Structure 1
Amino acid sequence: MGEGFLGEIDEYFEKLSDLAKIAKEANIAVHELVESPGPHAAMVAPVLAFRESILTSEDENGLSGYLVIGFFAGRTRRERLAAFAMTFEVEHEWNRREVKRLCARYDSGQHLFKSVPGLFGKIRRRANGRQDFELIDVSAVSSVGGSEIYRAESGFTKLCPYLSPGIVNWAQNEWPTAPAFVRLDAGYYSATQPLQLLTEATLVPANPRWLEDFSLRKGMKDFAAYHLLDRPASEGHAEYWDYHVKKVRRLEVHVERREDDYLTMMIEELPRPDDPSGLMIARCIHLDTRDPALTPLGKVEMQHLDLAINVYEGEDRERRFAQMLQNGKVQDASFRTHLFRIERTPFVSLFSFCGMFLKSQVLSASGSMSS
């Protein structure tokens, strides 16, 4: 494969990125832009022609089923296949750009902070006094009816879509005085109230049965990994749904007591490592506590609990999926962001957070029971 062809491929994906931006700014579906490009025809036509020129037998097999939908009518079969391929690839690029944008560090030039400058001062400060540029004090904004829409002074913004408003509502109701911080979409601000999303209710799971003591001693580590298998639905509908619909593959738990009075825990849920978007978006929970070994679990308090997403792309996702948290160190995420943080809450609340935040109910139940 020559360098010239590789250069054409690179240029093709650059054009996809441009088309994704055009579709987003025009607030139109990608297939509409491909089918009726209007003033962007001079960009769409050559990109579509190039995509047609590199159609493969795999494209033919994977895309033929979409021809019955009726989109891109009046074109040849190969042109329609290329149009579907390009549409999906633009959407994947759109998703990649959006995830990257959502993970970007806060800065004063973002739309939210230009519209509500005072909110920039509400960004969480670390113990050293420096802002973390990821989370905002939840007391600085207020949810509209418990939804993902938040009032920010005289206007409105939204939670990062990877954080369910149900988690925030539940935590605030349970521990109204606990310091809590949320990830808002800094690219979104509206002077008028937007429509709320129709979202599934967040159910708070029951706490599992626990060990009678908190026995991990200084220098001790514990690790567990739980895998979903590709089994038929007849062998378990919940596992089948988690594997095939939610695309979850593995849950890893790493616990370490570094000092007599310091324990840290990391939980990471990994989805399929071969998503067409090129991304592997893992859900991560991190917590720590200063309570010593043998403290009754009902009395253990977390210093903090964080919910985050770790995003792996390219070789990073291949390396991460091939590794385990067992040794405490794995491939760094390509980019990541915290979504929620709460401080000084009971350790046993971890399992409710797991049940609400992790996508696989099968694996989160397994991970909870292991502890």
Structure 2
Amino acid sequence: MPATHRWTLTRYLIEQRRRFPQASGDLNALILDVSLACKAIARIVAQGRLAQAPATASVNVQGEEQKPLDVTSNELFLRMNEWSGHLAGMASEEMDEPRQIPAAHPRGKYLLAFDPLDGSSNIDVNVSVGSIFSILRAPAELVDTGRDVVEADFLQPGAAQVAAGYALYGPVTMLVLSVGDGVAGFTLDPNLGEFVLTHPHIQVPADTREFAINSSNSRFWEPPVKRYVDECLAGAVGPRGKDFNMRWIASLVAEAHRILMRGGVFMYPRDTKDPAKPGRLRLLYEANPIGLLIEQAGGRASTGRQPLLGVKPGALHQRIGLVFGSKHEVERIERYHHEPATREAEVPLFAARSLFRD
């Protein structure tokens, strides 16, 4: 491959397309439309309160607090992508049902699922947020008949994604993308107004000494997760024989970006906090696109029990447990889930020689 110094996103996509001479170019154009939406959102996020007056948060279709910028970001994604003729339909965290392509616009052969502003609860404290997107092929029958898109059209396993990525709105704006040939990172050059290739071959180290989990949920964790975290916290004198650092940002994009840049493992596992929800994160437009990026970068993405990208979705807004990052750590967590249940690790206060004997 030619030297990639100062490649723009457009050139990168053209070079990728050359691997498939029969390709129409529609996927490239769709990704550029998505990147345009991300640029527009980045501009608004960077202005903070200067961009809009404080407003009362509402509640979205999933019963979650919806910031005004969530609504704005969703509208930008819809407006930037509905007109070009590349899509047969869209699905968003902020909408209960799939979005139809307006009759005035042509329809295409792809589906776009997205979380327009992940981590929006962090906006008021100036912590990095982002957008996540997943691109699927529309079922042939949908393309051939031109019927309205329905929920079932989106219910494809993560392995079926043709492209996925996220935009990170932090000290700099980045777009991290996979079109099935590894993972590349692009930094928004404010002088050019273009995403420029700065991280051409991102790889997740197989080993790590860093993990991320929300410890406030520890009382709800399943035994394999408790075992893993306890072993990490035991440090050099414990069974792992090394010290670990713990991180938690509460922004999936920021967590994924840190792991792609330097390794680590992220856990938002299934727990017992709400038995009606088998996980916190949404499968189609959060877990699957992040999972594809991690796997394409040599890491591993899992539910804790099975490979994430093989899960067949059952609903548009289905939630799922998610573990991803450095391959060897994720494999260890999976192994703990499949091993027979063992007695919880003892701690000094409750050890056999303590006052609280069995």
TM-score by length of 1: 0.27
**Structure of greater Rg:** 1
**Which structure dedicates a bigger proportion of its chain to helix?**
1
TM-score by length of 2: 0.28
